[in-house]
Structure 1
Amino acid sequence: MAEIESLFVTRLYRARLNEYGPGVDEEELHDSCYAIMDDDEAGMEWCQENGYPGYTSYASLADLPWRFPIFAAVKEALDEHVAKFAEDLEFNLDGRKLVLEDLWINILPEAGGHGSHIHPHSVISGTTYVSMPEGTSALKLEDPRHAMMMAAPPRIKDCRRDLKAFIYVKPEIGDVLLWESWLRHEVPANTSEFDRVSVSFNYKWE
């Protein structure tokens, strides 16, 4: 009898941000994201100059966990999750650690999205979700084998999940998703009239 097995698995981690203790107040985190946006003139200017729909602190505020206690609590929770994910990935860290490299706010209004991209120079990337109104976009993850598919025919519509070209993951408020930073992903256009708010981050090997 023929034997078929799946090889080279791509892992996706999903958990509640506060799984390791109620350290992050979701309402305070939500309000803090908007308060920071209102005060971040440099960030808003960058968004306008670069055609970013909505707001991101990515290019303006590199030290949120040191500026605001609520983001220090977010970092503390994320450190736990990333350590768990690194165990699952069976990384040989050679006595070193994965440490937070950067963390930033994303506020996407109606029709706002973030095109397909990866996070170079990082090991693990992810997002925790602050506001996910009904009808807003899911996270879209791309099969990393696309560049090698050559003349392969398309999959049937209802093929197994592990064979799909794209996976859509609809997180809930308070969820954290982690993936290896080479995994290409995007946020399709927000189809809700309300903002989609999240906090994204990268971890590096130090």
Structure 2
Amino acid sequence: MTQIRSLFATRLYRAQLSEHGPAIDNDELEASCYSIAEDDEAGQEWCENNGYPGYTSYASLTDLGWRFPIFADLIKALDQHVAAFAKDLEFDLGDKGLVLEDIWINILPPGGTHSSHIHPHSVISGTTYVAMPEGAAALKLEDPRLQMMMAAPTRIKGAREELRPFIYEATQPGDVLLWESWLRHEVPMNMAEEDNRISVSFNYKWE
């Protein structure tokens, strides 16, 4: 009897941030992102020197949870989402846990992109979305097997989601996405006409 199964699943976690942890006021979170960006001269300089469109605190600030109470509440919520995802992934964590390694703000202006990348040395990575204006880019996720499909034909239009080489995950403010850190992803061009795409990204490590 013929059997066809799907093996080696790549899991993607999606939820409303509000499903776990303290209530987060999205307007306050957005205002805090802009306030931090305005004051972070080191981050602004890094973005300018590295050709990063808009603003990111990735290379400049490591204390968002201390700097603004709303980020402390955000981290408490993210800890619970990550715990739920780790349970789904059936990780054997032993006597260690998954703990926040870093968290940073991304403000992507119209026309800005964030090229394809992974998050080495982390276990779970993710993003929660603060402002997603009309036309803002969806997160683009790449099939991790793609580099080994040298001679494979393309998939038919409308192929099952599990067989597509790329998945575009459109989000709304208040959504949180989690994935294993080896999953390659990018943000295509922000096609919003005027407004910024704002998100907060993070990594969790095993220790």
Q: Same fold (TM over 0.5)?
A: yes
- For 2:100 and 2:22, the matched residues in 1 are separated by 20
- For 2:199 and 2:143, the matched residues in 1 are separated by 23
Superposition RMSD in Å: 0.8
Query: What is residue 101 of structure 2 aligned with on the other side?
Result: 101
SS in 2 for 1:60: coil
Query: What is residue 79 of structure 2 aligned with on the other side?
Result: 79
Query: What is residue 142 of structure 1 aligned with on the other side?
Result: 142
SS in 1 for 2:86: helix
AA aligned to 1:176 is V
SS in 2 for 1:46: helix
Identity of aligned residues (%): 70
| TM score, norm. by length of structure 1 | 0.98
Query: What is residue 123 of structure 1 aligned with on the other side?
Result: 123
Structure 2 portions without partners, runs of 5+: none
SS in 1 for 2:115: strand
| TM score, norm. by length of structure 2 | 0.98
Query: What is residue 205 of structure 1 aligned with on the other side?
Result: 206
AA aligned to 1:186 is E
AA aligned to 1:49 is N
1:38-53 correspondence runs (5 A): 38-53=38-53
Deviation, 1:23, is: 2.4
Deviation, 1:66, is: 1.6
Output one character per residue of 1:81-130: Cα deviation in whole Å (capped at 9) or x when no partner: 00000000000001211000000000000000100000000000000000
AA aligned to 1:52 is Y
AA aligned to 1:4 is I
- For 2:63 and 2:130, the matched residues in 1 are separated by 19
AA aligned to 1:125 is S
Query: What is residue 163 of structure 1 aligned with on the other side?
Result: 163
- For 2:155 and 2:79, the matched residues in 1 are separated by 38
Query: What is residue 187 of structure 1 aligned with on the other side?
Result: 187
The aligned length equals 206
Does residue 1:64 correspond to 2:64, yes or no? yes
- For 1:108 and 1:189, the matched residues in 2 are separated by 9
SS in 1 for 2:177: strand
AA aligned to 2:173 is I
Deviation, 1:22, is: 4.4
Query: What is residue 177 of structure 1 aligned with on the other side?
Result: 177
- For 1:23 and 1:3, the matched residues in 2 are separated by 46
- For 2:158 and 2:137, the matched residues in 1 are separated by 21
SS in 2 for 1:153: coil
SS in 1 for 2:122: coil
Task: Judge conservation of contact 2:141–2:183 (CA < 8 Å) in 1.
Answer: yes
Deviation, 1:171, is: 0.8
Deviation, 1:21, is: 4.4
- For 1:20 and 1:195, the matched residues in 2 are separated by 26
- For 2:10 and 2:185, the matched residues in 1 are separated by 13
